[in-house]
Structure formats: C-alpha cells, structure tokens
C-alpha cells in the first residue's frame, strides 16, 4: 500500500557517513539480498567510462534509470562499487514503513524520503543540495514507480528536470560547476530455461481461479488466459459484472468508474488531469483527510480500500495490453507477466527465476541552468526519454525468444 496510515509524514534525511555503505558493500550484503529476495544472481555493467568522466570532473551527477523491479535501487550499487563511489537516492515514504530493518537499511545506504502525497520541500531541497555539492551521485527514477514491464518506458515525471535545472542554477552561482544527467537502462535477462517454473506458477494461479489446466495450451496461451482472468475478476469486483468491447475499452471504463467513485466520495472535482495525476490527487486527499480529522474505523477501512483501488489503477495503466502480442514473445516478458499477476492476486511474486542484470550507463546529458520553457516539451526531458528508449531497445534484443518446451 502506497499511502502510510500508521503515522503522519516525517522527512527522513539521508545518512551521509561512509561506514555503513562501506561494510554493506564489503560484506556483499546487497548481492546476498538480491539473490535471496529478487532472484538476481549475476550482473554486468556497461558504459562505466561515461560515469567515471563525470566523477573525475567533479560534476553534480543525477542518475536516471528506468524502474521495472524493486531490485533496481540495489542493482545500482554494483556500478558504484566498481567506481568506488557511494550514492544518495530519493525513495517513497512508504518504503521506510515496510519494516524497521528496511527503513534502517534504506537510510544507511543513502536513501531519503519523498512524500508523494504532498509538496515535500525538504526532499526537493535535499536533492538540489546533493547535486549542488556534488559529493555523491543522486539516484532519481524518472518514471516514479515500478511497472513489471522492463521493455517499455512509462511517461517521465517533470520533477526530474525541475530538480536538475534548479541545482544547475545554484551550482553555477556557487562554483561555476556543471550538473549532468546520466540515463541508465537496466535490463533483466533470464539466466536459465523458464518453462518448468512458468508451468508451476501458472498451475497455481489457475487453481486459485478454480480452473482446470486445459490440455494442449502453450505457456504463452495460458499466460494470456490468466491475464484475462485476473482482469475479469477486477471488473466483477468493482463493476459487479464484466464489460463489453475491446480489452482497452473495458480497462478504460473500469479505471474511469473507480476514479469517479472515489473522487465523488472525497469531494474532489472529477476528471481533472490525466489518470496518473488523478491517482496522485486521490492519494493526497486521502492522506490529508485521514490525518486532519478523527477517523472512525469504518472510514479508515474505506480509505484503505480506496488506496488499494487506485494502486490497482496505476498498475493497470502501467502494463501494456499488447505486451504478449508481439510477433516474438521473449522469456523475460513471460516471467514479468506471471509475476505481475501473482503480485496483484497474492500480494507477492515468486522470484525463483534466476536473473542476470545488465546495467547500461549512457553518456552525460548537460543540464542547462535556465528554467524549462513554459507550454512546450522540455528539451531536457525529451533528450532523457530518447536516450533511455534507445538503450532499452538495444537491450531488449538480448532477451531470448520464448520457445515452449513440452
């Protein structure tokens, strides 16, 4: 759940010391965690020379990776290890509330909180100060959230440009130094054959639906089938019946119904902005109302259910409907889709597939000190998007075409 109900927001600053990051890297705790929790057993870093040049120049460095898995922030520890540097990273407030150990570890590794349900001046000022001082690179995921669709880049948040440009102005006044953005493409490749794993996971999902596994269907067909089944369950849950039309039309109708119902309940003007903006507005209003007034148990249950619903909306709009419809389906797309369904139904995905992470660091993009042009596409964000998509497209070609093994 992305909204924290246990306590009101309190900014968590980054730990600036070196001892904890040193020991965590020295003991290879990141490697152990990624193997045990995310299935990432090996890795490869490319383009390190680009980042090294920026470090040697003393630039203020913003690292902007794509964000498809929870493993992404930890995976970036590997290029940092090779270049003998440490990182700061902006992380959502809810991640600091998923357990005392997780919150402790995130902060000690250089993470600091951002309140996505409000305007967090402390987080923004901290990010700008990090880039201005240029002590360590700052990690900021421009997509904002994970999506379990490694091959597709979601729309980028303009906050990346605001932070980078603001820091560039400060840095220019202070030292005449530069601020640069390094796009980073992270791609996870399957290290082994996935057929046995896929059949086992699909059978478990099918049993959960009360289905018999039909004879003669391929893994791709079964995967598409459970995707459709999970969507139908959501329609029945929130609409009371299944819709009509194409999957895209039915999804849009479901999203519209959920958002309009919650906006009405919260007294928010309906239909303002795109879907992502409406989701954010709902989360913000829920957090505000919850901590602003005495809430009875019934209202708290409703707030929690509304957050679960908008989290589901965000997940639905992040996943491309045609992800398994391409001419050549890859093994990684099968794995991502099954794990996404497991997460949405069971709350947790099975990470038993061994993965190899490829981290491709792009050339530095110089950040101008001027503000972004109003009413126009920000050229800085356009360049970042173009570079990320180009690198991801190259890495997508390294995934194996899926071949069902009977």
Which phi and psi angles does 112 have, rounded to 5°?
-135, 155
pLDDT tens, position by position, 140-150:
999 998 888 99
Q: What is the pLDDT of residue 79?
A: 97
Quickly count: other Cβ atoms within 10 Å of residue 53's Cβ.
14
Close Cβ partners of 58 (under 8 Å, ≥ 6 residues apart)? 134, 177
61 in Cβ contact with 138 (< 8 Å): yes
Residue range(s) occupied by CATH 3.40.1130.10 in the chain: 19-191+354-396
Which range (58-62, 211-215, 232-236) has the least confidence?
211-215
Cα 118 from Cα 127, distance rounded (Å):
16
Mean pLDDT of the chain: 93
Q: What is the pLDDT of residue 22?
A: 86
Cα 361 from Cα 79, distance rounded (Å):
9
Cα 327 from Cα 260, distance rounded (Å):
37
Cα 70 from Cα 255, distance rounded (Å):
25
Task: Dump the DSSP string for 93-107.
Answer: GGGGGS-HHHHHHHH
Mean pLDDT to the nearest integer, 87-93: 95
- DSSP annotation of 157 reads P
Cα 52 from Cα 85, distance rounded (Å):
10
Mean pLDDT to the nearest integer, 123-131: 97
396 in Cβ contact with 151 (< 8 Å): yes
Which phi and psi angles does 186 have, rounded to 5°?
-110, 125
399 in Cβ contact with 189 (< 8 Å): yes
Give the three-state DSSP class for 114. strand
Mean pLDDT to the nearest integer, 105-127: 92
- DSSP annotation of 401 reads B
Cα 24 from Cα 7, distance rounded (Å):
29
Q: What is the pLDDT of residue 241?
A: 95
Cα 73 from Cα 211, distance rounded (Å):
37
Most confident of 11-20, 31-40, 45-54: 45-54
Give the three-state DSSP class for 42. strand
Cα 14 from Cα 112, distance rounded (Å):
5
Cα 200 from Cα 143, distance rounded (Å):
32
Output the CA torsion sign for 31, 37, 43, 46: negative
Q: What is the pLDDT of residue 179?
A: 98
Length of the chain: 406
Model confidence at 406, pLDDT cuts 50, 70, 90, reads low
- Tokens representing 331 are 């093994």
CATH number of this structure's domain 19-191+354-396, picked from the four choices 3.40.50.800, 3.30.70.1450, 3.40.1130.10, 3.40.1350.10? 3.40.1130.10
Model confidence at 214, pLDDT cuts 50, 70, 90, reads confident
Mean pLDDT to the nearest integer, 323-347: 90
Considering only CA atoms, which of 187, 188, 183, 166 is closest in space to residue 51? 183
Mean pLDDT to the nearest integer, 29-45: 94
Task: Dump the DSSP string for 40-71.
Answer: EEEEEEE-HHHHHHHHHHT-EEEEEE---STT
Model confidence at 285, pLDDT cuts 50, 70, 90, reads very high
Q: Which residue has the higher pLDDT, 324 or 381?
A: 381
Q: What is the pLDDT of residue 347?
A: 85
Model confidence at 327, pLDDT cuts 50, 70, 90, reads low
pLDDT tens, position by position, 236-279:
999 999 999 998 999 999 999 999 999 999 999 887 889 999 99
């Amino acid at each position: 759940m992305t909204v924290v109900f246990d306590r009101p927001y309190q900014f968590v600053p980054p730990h600036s010391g070196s001892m904890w990051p040193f020991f965590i890297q020295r003991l290879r705790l990141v490697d152990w965690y990624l193997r045990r929790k995310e299935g990432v057993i090996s890795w490869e870093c490319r383009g390190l020379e680009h980042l090294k040049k920026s470090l040697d120049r003393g630039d203020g460095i913003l690292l902007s990776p794509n964000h498809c898995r929870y493993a992404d922030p930890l995976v970036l520890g590997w290029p940092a290890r090779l270049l003998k540097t440490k990182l700061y990273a902006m992380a959502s407030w809810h991640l600091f509330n998923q357990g005392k150990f997780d919150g402790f570890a995130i902060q000690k590794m250089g993470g600091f909180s951002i309140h996505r349900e409000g305007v967090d001046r402390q987080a923004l000022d901290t990010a700008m100060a990090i880039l201005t001082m240029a002590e360590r690179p700052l990690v900021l995921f421009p997509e904002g959230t994970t999506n379990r669709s490694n091959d597709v880049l979601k729309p980028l948040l303009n906050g990346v440009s605001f932070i980078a440009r603001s820091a560039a102005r400060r840095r220019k006044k202070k030292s005449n130094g530069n601020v640069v953005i390094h796009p980073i493409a992270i791609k996870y490749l399957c290290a082994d054959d996935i057929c046995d794993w896929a059949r086992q996971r699909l059978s478990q999902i099918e049993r959960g639906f009360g289905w018999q596994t039909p004879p003669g269907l391929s893994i791709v067909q079964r995967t598409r089938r459970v995707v459709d089944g999970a969507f139908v369950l959501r329609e029945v849950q929130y609409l009371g019946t299944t819709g009509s039309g194409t999957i895209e039309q039915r999804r849009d109708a479901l999203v519209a119904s959920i958002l309009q119902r919650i906006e009405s309940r919260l007294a928010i003007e309906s239909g303002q902005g795109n879907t992502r903006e409406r989701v954010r507005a709902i989360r913000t209003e829920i957090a505000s109302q919850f901590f602003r007034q005495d809430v009875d148990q019934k209202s708290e249950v409703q707030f929690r259910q509304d957050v679960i619903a908008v989290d589901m909306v965000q997940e639905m709009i992040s996943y491309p409907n045609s992800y398994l419809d391409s001419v050549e389906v890859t093994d990684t797309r099968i794995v991502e889709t099954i794990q996404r369904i497991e997460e949405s139904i069971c709350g947790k995905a099975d990470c038993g597939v061994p993965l190899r992470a490829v981290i491709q660091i792009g050339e530095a993009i110089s950040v101008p000190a001027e503000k972004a042009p109003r009413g126009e596409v920000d050229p800085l964000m356009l360049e970042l998007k173009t570079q990320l998509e180009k690198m991801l497209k190259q890495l997508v070609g390294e995934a194996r075409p899926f071949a069902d093994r009977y």
